[in-house]
Amino acid sequence: MALPSFLDTLRLSLFDGGPGFSQVAVTNRCNADCAFCNFARSQGLEKHDAPADRLLRSIDVLYEKGIRYVALIGGEPLLYPDMDRVVSGMSRRGMEPIICTNGWLLSEKRIRRLADTGIRNLIISIDAPDAGVHDKNRGLPGLTERIRKANAIINRLGMHSTASVTISRLLGDIKRLPTFLDEMGFADLTFSYPLQKLYSTYLSYSDSRLVEFSACELLAIFEQLKALKKHFRVLNPTAGMDEMMRFLRNEPARFPCLAGYKYFFIDWNLDVYRCHYLPTRICSVEDLPNAAPVRDNCARCMIDCYREPSILQYCAVALADSWRELKRGRLRSSAACLFNSNNVVSLEAVAEQFELVRRYKRRRETNGAR
Domain range annotation of the chain = 6-311
The CA–CA distances, whole Å, from 310 to 155, 251, 314, 324 equal 29, 18, 6, 19
The answer on pLDDT for 186 being more than 70 is yes
The answer on pLDDT for 94 being more than 50 is yes
The answer on pLDDT for 1 being more than 70 is no
| Largest distance between two CA atoms of the chain | 64
Q: What per-residue confidence (pLDDT) applies to 18? A: 92
Q: How many CB atoms lie within 10 A of CB 14?
A: 13
Instruction: Please compute the mean of the pLDDT values over residues 63-76 and round it to a whole number.
Output: 96
Rounded Cα distance between 267 and 290, Å, is: 19
The pLDDT tens digits of the residues spanning 292-315 come to: 999 999 999 999 999 999 999 999
Q: What percent of the chain has pLDDT over 70?
A: 95
Transcribe 262-292 into DSSP letters: TEEEE-TT-EEESSSSS--EEEEGGGGGGSP
Q: What per-residue confidence (pLDDT) applies to 361? A: 63
Asked if residues 273 and 265 have their Cβ atoms less than 8 Å apart, the reply is yes
Higher pLDDT, 354 or 122: 122
Q: What average pLDDT is seen over the chain?
A: 93
| Residue 132: partners with Cβ closer than 8 Å, 6 or more residues away | none
Instruction: Look at residues 68, 296, 184, 152 and name the one whose alpha carbon lies nearest to residue 176.
Output: 184
Helices 238-248 + 304-312 axis angle, to 10: 120
Q: What per-residue confidence (pLDDT) applies to 359? A: 67
The pLDDT tens digits of the residues spanning 240-273 come to: 999 999 999 999 999 999 999 999 999 999 999 9
Instruction: Look at residues 290, 273, 269 and name the one whose alpha carbon lies nearest to residue 282.
Output: 273
Q: What per-residue confidence (pLDDT) applies to 203? A: 85
Rg (CA), the chain: 20
Q: What per-residue confidence (pLDDT) applies to 85? A: 97
CATH fold group of domain 6-311: TIM Barrel (3.20.20)
Q: 58-97 as b/e, with b when 16 or more CB fall inside 10 Å?
A: bbebbbebbbbbbbbbbbbbbbbebbeebbbbbbebebbb
Which residues is 22 bridged to in the sheet? Answer: 70, 264
* pLDDT range class, residue 367, cuts 50, 70, 90: low
Q: What per-residue confidence (pLDDT) applies to 362? A: 66
Amino acid at 190: T
Transcribe 295-352 into DSSP letters: -S-------HHHHHHHHHTHHHHHHHHHHHHHHTT-HHHHHHHHS-HHHHHHHHHHHH
How would you classify the pairing of strands 281-284 and 121-126?
unpaired
| Residue 291: partners with Cβ closer than 8 Å, 6 or more residues away | 272, 282, 283
* pLDDT range class, residue 370, cuts 50, 70, 90: very low
Q: What per-residue confidence (pLDDT) applies to 363? A: 63
